[in-house]
């Protein structure tokens, strides 16, 4: 299976809260897991990414947690701000010569951070 | 450094017509991918080009085609447009082939009437 399942579909938090977005995959051949952030009227922008040999990666207020045995990974946004309100997509790629840069995206999570 | 540029940003077509969308990648990037984004299907991979060759193709009918030029610029074409082709078409470039680090343009919003 090449699907990536993402939840929740939408999420509302207060400023300073820690929204958590979860993704699950089936194909263990996936070896690169990026998160993209998309604002209305804009294209997705790479936020942070992780490979299966690492269980956690932090970049600023954004953290990816990766559970290889459960085939799940999640995005945590620390001290969330209203400017973080956007749609977030998880994705996965095979990283093989034959697969190129092809990304399989999750369904997306619309995050709203209230002031 | 200029980002990925897509033209036109918005266009309206009628069923049966064809459309050509253009994408200029970030300078130095040699790989260009195209994605279709719709509320119902989300982001779906169309195809990827590297060194003027189509390296990967998604599950779309043959009405969807593309090409890449020697300067890495790319075009995609949709023939015999259907109502269901209404979508945001996103182009992404990457420095190398075989990397998930894509840089997306703002997209071309196609409406088919």
Shortest CA gap A115–chain B (Å): 27
Contacts by B47-55, CB closer than 8 A, 24 or more apart: B47/B76, B48/A100, B48/A101, B48/A102, B48/B97, B49/B74, B50/A100, B50/B97, B55/A100, B55/B31, B55/B97
CA separation for the pair B79, B45 (Å, rounded): 18
A44 touches B: beta carbon within 8 Å: yes
CA distance A56 to chain B (A): 18
pLDDT tens string, chain B, 113 residues long: the values are 689 999 999 999 999 999 999 999 999 999 999 999 999 899 999 999 998 999 889 999 999 999 999 999 999 999 999 999 999 999 999 987 777 789 999 999 999 99
């Amino acid at each position: 299976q090449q699907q990536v399942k993402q939840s929740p579909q939408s999420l509302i938090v207060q400023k300073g809260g820690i929204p958590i977005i979860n993704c699950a995959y089936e194909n263990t051949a996936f070896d690169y897991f990026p998160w993209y952030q998309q604002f209305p009227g804009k294209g997705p922008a790479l936020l942070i990414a992780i490979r299966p040999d690492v269980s956690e990666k932090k970049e600023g207020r954004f953290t990816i947690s990766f559970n290889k045995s459960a085939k799940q990974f999640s995005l945590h946004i620390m001290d969330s701000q209203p400017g973080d309100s956007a749609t977030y997509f998880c994705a996965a790629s095979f990283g093989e010569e034959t697969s190129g840069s092809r990304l399989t995206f999750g369904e997306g999570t619309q995050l709203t951070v209230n002031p | 450094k200029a980002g990925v540029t897509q033209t036109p940003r918005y266009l309206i077509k009628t069923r049966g017509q064809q459309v050509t969308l253009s994408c200029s990648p970030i300078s130095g990037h040699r790989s260009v991918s195209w994605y279709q984004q719709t509320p119902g299907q989300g982001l779906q991979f169309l195809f990827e080009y590297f060194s003027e060759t189509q390296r990967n193709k998604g599950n779309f009918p043959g009405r969807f085609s593309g090409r890449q030029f020697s300067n890495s610029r790319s075009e995609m074409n949709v023939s015999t447009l259907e109502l269901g082709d209404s979508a945001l078409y996103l182009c992404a470039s990457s420095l190398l082939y075989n990397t998930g680090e894509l840089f997306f343009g703002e997209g071309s919003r196609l409406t088919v009437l």
